[in-house]
Amino acid sequence: MSRVWDAGPTGSPKIGEKIEFEIVCRGFLRGAQPGPFILGPPAQADTSITEIDISSSDSVSGSDLTIALSGPVSLSTAQQTISQLTDGDYNDTVAGSVLSATTPSTVTDVPDATSPRAKISKRTATDGRTVRAVTVPDAYPKPPPTGSNGYANFHCNDNLQRTDSDGTFGAHRTCGESSTSWYWEMAPQLVAICSSLATEDGMEYSIDAVKVNKSSPHVEPCAYLFHGTWHGTNFHDYLWYADFVTFRVQVGGETGTAEVDIHGGLYMLAARS
């Protein structure tokens, strides 16, 4: 900044005398030539977001993530969080203080794959806290005809696996058995913002629209491989499953509660011919 006084021959301004002065500001940017700042209107305030929703579900199966923040974050911070959780593959909308996004998922049904049981390692919960109880409906609509409305064909001896921005869900049933093993593993990018243990509400499932069982809740680290067994599964059964995992997160300097809703429909089939 330079200052130039023009105050007569004496060089000193006197009371009541008119003076002229000039202020010159120059900015310096790395790799750029110095230049004057350009003043503009004040920036618009960023939208405050208190809830982030991400859906990876199709018409029936998938997962949905809800993050309820204890305080507002900027829209840009919320969008950056979604971009990190989805690897940038999403479409979003804003409604009030809620930022919602949709992102795709992939489903594979691999013939003669190694059973996911090999991945399962039982661990003991280190904390008995329950963050929030979630109620699952006691009955579900009558399943649709084979191959329609999103129920995935599930052959015995295959590994069915579904991966989305929240994690990976898998299931396996050995031909000749009436039980099916399942597992769900949280995505690494979601584990990265987790700041507490995760509470699994307990897997609930129905066969041909009749509720069969609901597992006990579990409290485990977010990186834990949640797993269990569906009993009484046979060929041509329609199986519907639903579970919830709740945990605390850190987003843009704010804490919040995240809940992943895991759900889907499977149509049990014999081995591939």
Q: What would the pLDDT profile of 18-69 be if each residue is shown by its tens digit?
A: 555 555 544 444 444 444 444 444 444 567 999 999 998 766 678 999 999 9
Q: What is each CA distance from 107 to 48, 49, 155, 192, 223, in whole angstroms?
A: 35, 32, 14, 24, 21
pTM for this entry: 0.71
Q: What would the pLDDT profile of 198-225 be if each residue is shown by its tens digit?
A: 999 999 998 888 888 888 999 999 999 9
Q: What would the pLDDT profile of 169-195 be if each residue is shown by its tens digit?
A: 999 999 999 999 999 999 999 999 999
pLDDT at 1: 39
User: Does residue 99 have a pLDDT over 80?
Assistant: yes
Phi, psi torsion values for 68, nearest 5 degrees? -95, 115
Q: Rounded to an integer, what distance in angstroms lies between the CA atom of residue 242 and that of residue 230?
A: 12
pLDDT at 135: 30
Q: Which two tokens stand for residue 44?
A: 């618009």
The pLDDT > 70 percentage for the chain reads 66
pLDDT at 22: 53
Which residue's structure tokens are 């009558």? 142
User: Does residue 166 have a pLDDT over 60?
Assistant: yes
What 8-state DSSP symbol labels residue 158? -
User: Does residue 110 have a pLDDT over 50?
Assistant: no
Q: Rounded to an integer, what distance in angstroms lies between the CA atom of residue 45 and that of residue 47?
A: 7
Contacts of 95 (CB under 8 A, 6+ apart): none
43 class by beta-carbon count within 10 Å (0-12 exposed, 13-18 middle, 19+ buried): exposed
